[in-house]
Structure 1
Amino acid sequence: MAATALCAAAATEAAAQTPPQDSLVLNQQLQLGDVFSHQTINVVDAQDQVTAETSAQGNAASGAVENGSITVQSGQDMRGDATARTDVALGGDTWGEVNVTTQAGGNYLAVSAYDADLTTDAVQSNTGGLVGAVTEIGDSSARLHAGGSVAASAISNTVALYGEGSLLQGDIDQTNAATVRSFSRIQSQYIPAAATVTADAVGNAVAATGVQTSGQDLSIIQSSTGDFLEADASANAGNAWDLAARARATANQAVLNNQGGSVVVASAQDNSSFVRAAALTTAYDYGRAEAYARGAANELSVGNNDVYVEIDNNQFNAGGVDVSATFSGTNGYDVYVGAEAVGNAVTGYACSECPGYLEANNVQTNNGSVSAQTSTTVAGSNRAVITGANAVGNSATFYVSRPTH
């Protein structure tokens, strides 16, 4: 009897030490309070670079798997505000590059797979009041000799998947009920170098990338019901050599890129939020100046540099989309101003040299107003002015070709 019991105990211990074939991650996160961060920087006559990063995130989870398989079951619930702000006062001459980034997010999940199978079951919900990011740089006397980059990004829900020689599969469900705002501005007297100001606001974002014989089989559901999403970029200088303001606002966004395997996606996007994107560039004297803004209620992009793509897309928009791009200057060379607004947009492509095969089932309904406006003022003389404004209710593009063709 004792020998039998000992053998049974040894067998039980050995079984307990034997790992299962599939790894399992169970993640549950709930954020009830507000999350905020703020930096204030005062610099006079900086001899080298000025770099600052500010971020505020409600829930975040990340992981990776290699040479195996993993199932990730994740639930993230954000109920507070997430706000980040960076204020940088630059006096006199700044000789190094100025790079300032401000990021605010509600829920974030990122998982990578390397020669493995990844199954993701992710649910993200943001019912907080605000996801906001603000970046303000310089003053009217600031001279930024090396230029730089100024950015503000606010994203309510994010799921990012990456695979190398892997299969990415599973279900993603995102709901945004928060207001999402980003504002980025630079004020200066003189910038004899390239300087860009960007603002991005997104309600729900999914990004899936597969390389080296990877495949994707995903189901994506996105809903945005917050009051509005707004991205505002403003670039201003007395004299600028290469100055650009770029703003992008999207309620629901899913971008899938793959190579080396098939891509199958079923996507449903529903938006009732108001979407606004505005870009403003001003310069008395300028070399190259740009103001570009893009706004979209629902946007799906599926691309595969391999044979097979299958898309089942359903998009519904009841919110307005308002996009504006403005330039004002006196004397200079080249001006580029563009505004793009779309209610529902889907793009799908497969490799044409494989040869590729694409199958798409597309349903789009737009019930919101869509507007794109540009305004360009040149008070003195310049060389070229190139402008464009494009507004579309529903846009669907499917082709069998490489993205560069």
Structure 2
Amino acid sequence: MDRPARIRLAGMIAATVTCAAVATEASAQDGSIVLNEQLQLGDVIAGQTLNVEDAQEQVTVTTYAQGTHAAGAVQNGSVAVISTQTMSGSARASTVMDLGGDTQGIVNATTQAGGNYLAVGAYDADLDIEAVQILNGTEVRASSAINGGTARLLSGGSVGVSAIGNTTALGGSGSVVTGSVDQYASATVRASNYAATQYIPAEAGFTSQALGNAVAVNSDANSGQNLTVGQITTSNLIEADTSANAGNAWNLAARAHAGANQAVLANQGGSMVVTTDQTNGAYVRAAAVATAYDYGSATAYARGAGNEVSAGNNDIYLEIDNTQFNSGGVDVSASFAGTNGYDAYVGADAVGNSVTGYACSECAGQINATNNQVNQGHVTATAQTTVAGSGRAVITGANAVGNSASFYVTRPTCDTDCH
């Protein structure tokens, strides 16, 4: 069953701003109007290679490639933002770390690649938004690698990789956010994180995230929302892949998250009215692998979703009208292999369509929800654990769901100053 797309994609005509990396900063006054048009035609590429021997202190690495970028804020006034961003090139970010000998300090590495990015904040102000983001290039790809298998990370580390096609982030404090966000992604989005190490006697986390379209709205302190979010992903592949490996690791974690369309909205202090419409035809894959011959604690967790919505109001009223259609497959796998150790945690979660809505119980909250979900794609979740020698605990889980909807009036951290 094919469903016609309801998303509005006005503004697909080429914009007037063209450059390798565009950044627009807008600080709005009362009654301000911001008109933003950005078009990126060429590729945006960032890469780093580190050859470090016996580092005595921390190793910190940041690699960032972004097609279009626009950011602004308003305080004690109001702003109307009309934005059209189009990314027709590819965005690639890569980090390679050859860490020889003993690395004494913590390893912190962040690698990010993105197509279109828009962020607007409102503080004791009103924000009216009309945003369109179009990703029609070849790919958005981010990768990180620790090669060789001889690295000794004595203080552990945190290595994160993120690839996102379209991103819109809105919110603030004491604000009313109204309007619409429309996103379209047709490029491949991939995030990969690989680590081959010898010895990590500390906590070490390796994560990857790949999203086709992402909307995040977070407002609090007497705020309100009235928003329409439309997202379409027609990419061939949305993939997040993490492989974390060590000869001896005390606390090792590999995590991967992939999603075609994601909308996360949170509010506090006023009413929240949202309409969400998501359509996915992309193949979504998330895989997390952790291996260690000797281990203390080892975690491998992967999550994949075709369409995902979370709308929560820590106040009285939430109204949500949600429509989701998924025809792409969702494959999620997580695995751990070790010989001698203590605790192993392995989990895989896969879902075609997911929506969650909640309001505050302490405020006698009310939810009015309309939900329509159709899943035509296969959904699989697999978890595999191998302990060849001896271990203490093994905790595993694999969950696959076609359509998931959860609406509830409860929240233990509700603000009791209800409106």
TM-score of the aligned structures, taking structure 1 as reference length: 0.94
Residues 265 and 311 in structure 2, CA contact (< 8 A), matched pair in contact too: yes
Mapped partners of 2:188, 2:79: distance in 1 = 34
User: Deviation of residue 122 (structure 1)?
Assistant: 0.1
- Give the number of equivalent residue pairs: 387
Residues 190 and 240 in structure 2, CA contact (< 8 A), matched pair in contact too: yes
User: Deviation of residue 323 (structure 1)?
Assistant: 0.2
User: Deviation of residue 20 (structure 1)?
Assistant: 9.2
Give the aligned partner of residue 232 of structure 1: 241
Q: Are positions 1:362 and 2:362 aligned together? A: no
Deviation sequence 1:306-326 (CA, Å, 0-9, x none)? 000000000000000000001
Q: Are positions 1:160 and 2:169 aligned together? A: yes
Give the aligned partner of residue 150 of structure 1: 159
Give the aligned partner of residue 327 of structure 1: 336
* Selected match of 2:195 from 173, 186, 189: 186
Mapped partners of 1:328, 1:20: distance in 2 = 57
* Selected match of 1:380 from 380, 389, 402: 389
Deviation sequence 1:96-142 (CA, Å, 0-9, x none)? 00011100000000000000000010000000000000011253111
1:24-173 superposed matches below 5 A:
24-173=33-182
Give the aligned partner of residue 221 of structure 1: 230
Q: Are positions 1:210 and 2:212 aligned together? A: no
Residues 328 and 378 in structure 1, CA contact (< 8 A), matched pair in contact too: yes
Amino acid at match of 1:400: V
Give the aligned partner of residue 23 of structure 2: none
Amino acid at match of 1:306: D
3-state SS of 2:362 partner: coil
1:307-346 superposed matches below 5 A:
307-346=316-355
Mapped partners of 1:70, 1:21: distance in 2 = 7
Mapped partners of 2:139, 2:161: distance in 1 = 15
Mapped partners of 2:114, 2:412: distance in 1 = 30
Give unmatched runs, 5+ long, in structure 1.
Answer: 1-18
Give the aligned partner of residue 247 of structure 1: 256
- Larger Cα Rg: Structure 1 or Structure 2? 1
Residues 88 and 136 in structure 1, CA contact (< 8 A), matched pair in contact too: yes
3-state SS of 2:389 partner: coil
User: Deviation of residue 80 (structure 1)?
Assistant: 0.4
Mapped partners of 2:376, 2:303: distance in 1 = 19
Mapped partners of 1:104, 1:400: distance in 2 = 37
Give the aligned partner of residue 8 of structure 1: none
User: Deviation of residue 210 (structure 1)?
Assistant: 0.6
Give the aligned partner of residue 15 of structure 1: none
Amino acid at match of 1:271: N
Deviation sequence 1:220-258 (CA, Å, 0-9, x none)? 000000101000011100000000000000000000011
User: Deviation of residue 163 (structure 1)?
Assistant: 1.5
Give the aligned partner of residue 406 of structure 2: 397
Deviation sequence 1:68-103 (CA, Å, 0-9, x none)? 000000000000000000001000100000011100
Mapped partners of 1:367, 1:182: distance in 2 = 25
Tell me whether 129-138 or 367-376 shows the greater mean CA deviation: 129-138
Residues 35 and 57 in structure 1, CA contact (< 8 A), matched pair in contact too: yes
Residues 29 and 74 in structure 2, CA contact (< 8 A), matched pair in contact too: no
3-state SS of 1:252 partner: strand
Residues 190 and 239 in structure 1, CA contact (< 8 A), matched pair in contact too: yes
Q: Output the aligned Cα RMSD.
A: 1.1
3-state SS of 1:61 partner: strand
Identity across matched positions, percent: 63
Mapped partners of 2:398, 2:373: distance in 1 = 22
Amino acid at match of 1:118: L
Amino acid at match of 1:33: G
Amino acid at match of 2:350: A
Residues 371 and 391 in structure 1, CA contact (< 8 A), matched pair in contact too: yes
Mapped partners of 1:21, 1:339: distance in 2 = 48
Give unmatched runs, 5+ long, in structure 2.
Answer: 1-27, 415-419
Mapped partners of 2:282, 2:271: distance in 1 = 33
In structure 2, relative to structure 1, the CA distance for the partners of 1:20 and 1:44 (3 Å cut) is closer
TM-score of the aligned structures, taking structure 2 as reference length: 0.91
Amino acid at match of 2:135: N
Residues 278 and 325 in structure 1, CA contact (< 8 A), matched pair in contact too: yes
* Selected match of 2:303 from 294, 306, 313: 294
Residues 351 and 400 in structure 1, CA contact (< 8 A), matched pair in contact too: yes
* Selected match of 1:177 from 162, 182, 186: 186
Residues 150 and 185 in structure 1, CA contact (< 8 A), matched pair in contact too: no
Residues 181 and 230 in structure 1, CA contact (< 8 A), matched pair in contact too: yes
Mapped partners of 1:192, 1:169: distance in 2 = 49
3-state SS of 1:288 partner: strand
Amino acid at match of 1:263: M
Give the aligned partner of residue 3 of structure 1: none
Mapped partners of 1:68, 1:350: distance in 2 = 28
Extract structure 1 runs of 4+ deviating beyond 6 A: none
Amino acid at match of 1:188: T
Give the aligned partner of residue 6 of structure 1: none
Residues 322 and 341 in structure 1, CA contact (< 8 A), matched pair in contact too: yes
User: Deviation of residue 151 (structure 1)?
Assistant: 1.1
* Selected match of 1:275 from 284, 291, 298: 284
